[in-house]
Amino acid sequence: MFLKSLATAGAMAILTTSTAMACEISARVSIVGNEFPAIQTVGAGAQACTGAEVTTNLTADHQKINLPGMQGNPAEYTSAIIANSSIVALINEDVIRPLDDLVAKHGQDLAKTQLITIDGKVMAVAFMANAQHLVYRSDVLEQIGVEPPKTYEELLAAAQMIREKGIMENPVGGAFASGWNLAEEFVNMFIGYDGDFFVAGTAQPSVNSEAGIKALETMKALSEYMNPDFLTHDSNATNAEFRAGNVALMNMWGSRAATMTEAEGVPQEVIDGFAIAGPMTVGGGSVPASTLWWDGWTVAKNISDEEAEATFVAMMNGIRPEILSDAEVAKQAVWLIPGYEPTEAAVGVFAAANSGTVPYPMLPYMGLMHTALGNELSDFMQGKESAEQALADVEAAYTAAAKENGFLQ
Amino acid sequence: MKHRTFFWFFLPTGLAMLLFIAAPIVSVVMQSMFAPHEAVLSVVENCGPFGCTQETAIDQQATQALRDAAPLGRFVGLDIYLDRGHLAVNEVRAAWQSAEGFGDFLSGLSNLPFYRAMAFTLTYTFTVTPLLIVLGLMIALAVNTLQARIKGLVIFFSLLPMIVTPLVGSLILFWMIDSRGVLGSAIQWLASDPGLSLKASTGLTWAMLIVYGVWHSAPFAFVVFYAGLQTLPRDQIEAAQIDGATRWHQVRFVVIPHLMPLVTFVALIQLMDNFRVFEPIVGFNASAHATSLSWIIFNDMGGETRQLSAAAATSVITIVGVAILLSPVLVRTWRDFRSKH
């Protein structure tokens, strides 16, 4: 489905590129978003518009400032670049506007799959997809005579062989830093075990289940093969470990795959052996232990219609199909833009999309669950408490937060 | 000063204090007693690049009506102070009832975020503050005996740890103490344990944060004490020397009593500062092992779903904590003041 829709979108793009016009706007545009290369490209594209000022604030702290920046009237930011997890915070507080009229007027080039509709209203326009998947050293796997793992069980077996043969002491990598990263790894693993975060249709937590315990046990087993500092390793630090040649197998973001070996001082065998595969399943499950993500942009509610239109036009210019003619830009992400042709770095994300990986849950209270997971799981990972205790703590912490925010009585 | 003159002299300061200190505190206290309205949820269809799903979402119109009716939110009184994220009254009671001894109770307590944060914060405050005062005094005494020619240079280098922003300073050290970093490898070599990692052990992480805290704040104490040493009464020192006092005796009986008001000042400022310990925890990525009240506030505000009421309650508790910590010193200062006038 994913590939097919992209292919038809590609055909459409060839028809529409010739009609591209210069971008002309008449009102203020102000964008807030994350800072990775693909978003920098989109921001620069929006800034190419003439006629009024376009400012961007692209920072890793975007999640802390986008909501307050859009709550004022008029809003400071006319557009926030978000993902399927972070759009929820903006929707919860009702600070973004439906885009149906603007899509009808200026969005002819958009593929239907780019439109994020909630309750029948277009609330965001997606421009890239992302997922975590296997990244490995093919030379090391050849050395031990093992195929790239398709399940976490195979990965653990391979890790053991690598250690036993004395090739690497800690062959597994992973962004297990306490907080958001650790929680994200649990979310992946829990979904892989077919777990449900909440009792169906309610905000009641249900992570303290068999799936939860199995997910934690698998994470613990993985951590036995990781650098002992793993609770402080975010994706930057994990990448550094891989680049230094200390890691042979890891679950890593697709958006980082293209630049994984592009740093100074990366040994030649790491560059040559670098390979990508799809996300792994766990415990005999059929759904990969990973989540699918999209990144997209929104338009603020508390701004004039003129500013909203200018913002829409500028953002459309940021994601116009022509940007893909630059090979560097095409490599930056798995673009959802019409005309995108997958590069080598995109293999993992495509494999994730095609193997039934589920999107990160877009529930109003999922953010609270993610925070509770990030805070409460590190005790278990350090061996200070049992899996049941850790999951009971998660549920207790989540329940207190959900009561405060009015999701639970 | 006449009362009238004093009134006009103090008015701008008083107004500024009201506006920038009292008003925010009142607002934070208010915020901690109100929570967001009950969310009105409905099931809607969400579509995107990966297909359509039925998802729960907030019913905006119904929620807006609730908000318009009571803009401050739901009044919850002390509920948030008592919930698991803060004083955790029910959880503490349960831990007390089920505990098989005091140690067991303490371990139950340390499983609760507030008490865990307090354990680290208090340990940090009460080890770092005395250590940095002692170290600062030692540096000041040492520098004071130096030749005037090299003094300036030494003072500059002694102040460097304080000049570096805490976040940057801790980040630099963070990489040095990594198990593959300069200091980390040195410690592994010294302990002859190649698997030793400062970041993987709670005890070592605490020690590291405390060492960092002392390293970072000692220059402040040094500079204050060094300034105090310049006002040392020469004749007293000379008299002591004539009486045959050793250098240690001079320090013990002349220098330290002379510097005592400054020690109180440094202790006051540093108790306050250390109780709010925050940057090193973020810089060292140490939240798995050590948290503080400030870190909890940051964590509540920084997630994708903000918990403003929880953050406000923790802030009020922090203010109360600082007040309790400072009260002995304040009482002492007040007594000194009274006895002199």
The ipTM estimated for the assembled molecules is 0.84
Q: Is B19 an interface residue toward A (CB < 8 Å)?
A: no
- More confident site: B166 or A16: B166
Q: What is the pLDDT of residue B57?
A: 87
Q: What is the pLDDT of residue B330?
A: 79
Q: Using CA coordinates, name the residue in chain B closest to A355.
A: B50
Average pLDDT of the residues in A291-299? 95
**Which segments in chain B show pLDDT lower than 70?**
341
In a domain, A364, yes or no: yes
Residue finishing a domain among A354, A371, A392: A354
Q: What is the pLDDT of residue A5?
A: 54
Q: How far apart are CA A117 and CA A99, in angstroms?
A: 9
In a domain, A321, yes or no: yes
Domains and CATH numbers, chain B: 75-111 (no CATH), 123-290 (1.10.3720.10)
In a domain, A409, yes or no: no
Q: What is the pLDDT of residue A10?
A: 47
In a domain, A203, yes or no: yes
Mean residue pLDDT across chain A: 90
A178 in the same domain as A51: no
pLDDT tens digits along B174-222 = 888 887 888 888 888 888 887 788 888 889 899 999 999 999 999 999 9
Residue finishing a domain among A332, A354, A376: A354
In a domain, A185, yes or no: yes
Q: Is B43 an interface residue toward A (CB < 8 Å)?
A: yes
Q: Is B47 an interface residue toward A (CB < 8 Å)?
A: yes
Residues of B in contact with A407 (CB under 8 A): 39, 41
pLDDT tens digits along A215-252 = 999 999 999 999 988 998 988 889 999 999 999 999 99
Q: Is the pLDDT of residue A12 over 50?
A: no
A302 in the same domain as A285: no
Q: What is the pLDDT of residue A37?
A: 85
Q: Is the pLDDT of residue A13 over 50?
A: no
Average pLDDT of the residues in A31-49? 92
A254 in the same domain as A367: yes
In a domain, A315, yes or no: yes
Residue finishing a domain among A337, A354, A371: A354
Verify whether the Cβ–Cβ distance B199 to A228 is below 8 Å.
Answer: yes
Residue B200 three-state SS = coil
- Write the residue in B50, B302, B306 that is nearest to A292 by C-beta: B50
Residues of A in contact with B43 (CB under 8 A): 201
Number of domains in chain A: 2
Q: Is B252 an interface residue toward A (CB < 8 Å)?
A: no
Q: Is the pLDDT of residue A345 over 90?
A: no
Verify whether the Cβ–Cβ distance A179 to B287 is below 8 Å.
Answer: yes
pLDDT tens digits along A99-154 = 999 999 999 889 888 999 998 999 999 999 999 999 999 999 999 999 999 999 99
Q: Is B77 an interface residue toward A (CB < 8 Å)?
A: no
Q: Is A302 an interface residue toward B (CB < 8 Å)?
A: no
Q: Is the pLDDT of residue A2 over 80?
A: no
Residues of A in contact with B286 (CB under 8 A): 232
A158 in the same domain as A144: yes
Verify whether the Cβ–Cβ distance B303 to A367 is below 8 Å.
Answer: yes
Q: Are strands A249-253 and B34-35 parallel, antiparallel or unpaired?
A: unpaired
Residue B329's closest CA among B232, B274, B261? Answer: B261
Domain span at residue A64 reads: 2-130+292-354
A99 in the same domain as A6: yes
Tokens of B296: 């909890």
pTM for the full model?
0.86
Residue with tokens 């003439």: A50
Residue with tokens 């992946």: A188
Distance from CA of A146 to the nearest CA of B (A): 28
In a domain, A379, yes or no: yes
A258 in the same domain as A205: yes
Distance from CA of A207 to the nearest CA of B (A): 18
A298 in the same domain as A226: no
A103 in the same domain as A155: no
- Chains A and B: how many Cβ contacts under 8 Å? 170
What letter would DSSP give residue A22? -
CATH code at A313? 3.40.190.10
Q: Is B110 an interface residue toward A (CB < 8 Å)?
A: no
Cis status, amide bond into A74, omega within 30 of 0: yes
In a domain, A238, yes or no: yes
Measured in degrees and rounded to the nearest 5, phi and psi for residue A294 equal -125, 150
A282 in the same domain as A171: yes
Q: Is the pLDDT of residue A6 over 70?
A: no
Residues of A in contact with B91 (CB under 8 A): 396
Those residues whose C-beta lies under 8 Å from the C-beta of residue A235, and which sit 6 or more positions away, are A175, A181, A252, A253, A256
Residues of B in contact with A370 (CB under 8 A): 303-304
Query: What amino acid occupies position A368?
Result: L
Q: Is the pLDDT of residue A28 over 60?
A: yes
Within 188-217 of A, beta carbons closer than 8 Å to B belong to 201, 203
Q: Is-contact B84 A396, C-beta < 8 A?
A: yes
A222 in the same domain as A367: yes
Q: What is the pLDDT of residue B140?
A: 94
A205 in the same domain as A108: no
Q: Using CA coordinates, name the residue in chain B closest to A402.
A: B307
Verify whether the Cβ–Cβ distance B39 to A368 is below 8 Å.
Answer: no
A313 in the same domain as A284: no
Q: What is the pLDDT of residue A21?
A: 56
pLDDT tens digits along A166-180 = 999 999 999 999 989
Tokens of A9: 């979108």
Distance from CA of A19 to the nearest CA of B (A): 25
Q: Is the pLDDT of residue A188 over 50?
A: yes
Q: What is the pLDDT of residue B121?
A: 95
Q: Is the pLDDT of residue A343 over 60?
A: yes
Q: How far apart are CA A290 and CA A296, in angstroms?
A: 20
Residue A134's closest CA among A150, A156, A153, A157? Answer: A150
Residues of B in contact with A368 (CB under 8 A): 303, 305, 307
